[in-house]
Amino acid sequence: MARMDAFAAKRRWYHPAPAWLVYGAAVATGVLFACERGRWFPVHYQKGWPVLIAVAVVAAVLILILAWMLVALLFRRRAQFDLRTLLVFVALCAAVCSWLTVRIKQARQQADVVAATQKTVDAFYAYDWEFDDTGKLSTKTPLPAPKPLRKLLGVDFFADVEFLQLDGQEATSARLADVLWLPRLKSLSVSGDCVADGELFLIQELSNLQELWLVKTKVSDEGVKRLKRALPRCKIDIQRAAQ
């Protein structure tokens, strides 16, 4: 009898239980969050997918736990689900829902900027998936997600705007303030006398900016120097208006 108790205690650490599903889902969610932060997913399919996979994992765990409890009820077995596991699962659900909510809000903010750009003739934008491996715009690049998901969540949930051009009256302080909702923007072109040193404080908040064109603006040399100090990795091209 003592030998059987010892054997049962020895195998208890790997005995299947709902707690292992919850802890496994928590680890998987942490890995997915790290993948998103490090952008480890393939180039054209990275944005949006980590959080959606995390939602699917949590939903699958919930279904398995409910099935576990139903089978235990049918066979009159006790399904152990302690308070600690319940608290971990509730916290995991809250974290994943919060993560999804933030991504949806960010996608809507970007969509608003894109919608405002589409209404004007002096503005142009391009998503990351529209560029090929050489960095050129292409019509043959694959879309960032299946059509049902794009229809449900919008293309901005799965793609980042990487190029934006604002010309003439569109290059105002208000429009440049909207550009701050494009944190992955890599290339920006602005032109017109509406852009001066004051607007550069908005541009320097774009930490991922790699290329900047200032065409026929009122930006001074001192303002350009401050901008270069704020964005040392950004290539700045200045074209002055003809005197």
pLDDT digits (tens, 9 = 90+) for 139-166: 777 888 889 999 999 999 999 999 998 8
Residue 79 phi/psi, 5-degree rounding, is -100, 110
Who contacts 60 (Cβ-Cβ below 8 Å, separation ≥6)?
Answer: none
d(C-alpha 45, C-alpha 236), whole Å: 30
| 74 vs 94, residue with greater confidence | 94
> What per-residue confidence (pLDDT) applies to 7?
44
What is the helix (H) or strand (E) element at residue 226, kind and residue range?
Answer: helix 221-230
Predicted confidence (pLDDT) at residue 171 exceeds the cutoff of 80: no
Helix (H, G, I), strand (E, B) or coil at 12: helix
Query: Radius of gyration over alpha carbons of the chain, in Å?
Result: 26
Cα atoms in the 13 Å half-sphere on the side-chain side of 131: 16
d(C-alpha 85, C-alpha 62), whole Å: 12
d(C-alpha 95, C-alpha 128), whole Å: 28
> What per-residue confidence (pLDDT) applies to 79?
65
C-alpha 209: how far from chain center: 17
The rounded mean pLDDT for the chain is 82
Who contacts 8 (Cβ-Cβ below 8 Å, separation ≥6)?
Answer: none
Instruction: Output b/e per residue, 50-89; b: 16+ Cβ within 10 A.
Output: bbbbbbebbeebeeebeebeeeeeeeeeeeebeeebeebb
> What per-residue confidence (pLDDT) applies to 35?
84
> What per-residue confidence (pLDDT) applies to 4?
46
> What per-residue confidence (pLDDT) applies to 180?
84
Helix (H, G, I), strand (E, B) or coil at 47: coil
Strand partners, 165: 124, 189
N- to C-terminal Cα separation, the chain:
100
Least confident of 70-79, 124-133, 169-178, 193-202: 169-178
Domain ranges of the chain: 11-119
Predicted confidence (pLDDT) at residue 13 exceeds the cutoff of 50: no
Claim: this prediction has a pTM higher than 0.85: no
What is the helix (H) or strand (E) element at residue 190, kind and residue range?
Answer: strand 187-191
> What per-residue confidence (pLDDT) applies to 11?
46
83-117 pLDDT, tens per residue?
888 899 999 999 999 999 999 999 999 999 888 88
> What per-residue confidence (pLDDT) applies to 76?
76
Predicted confidence (pLDDT) at residue 43 exceeds the cutoff of 50: no
CA dihedral sign, ordered 100, 102, 105, 110: negative
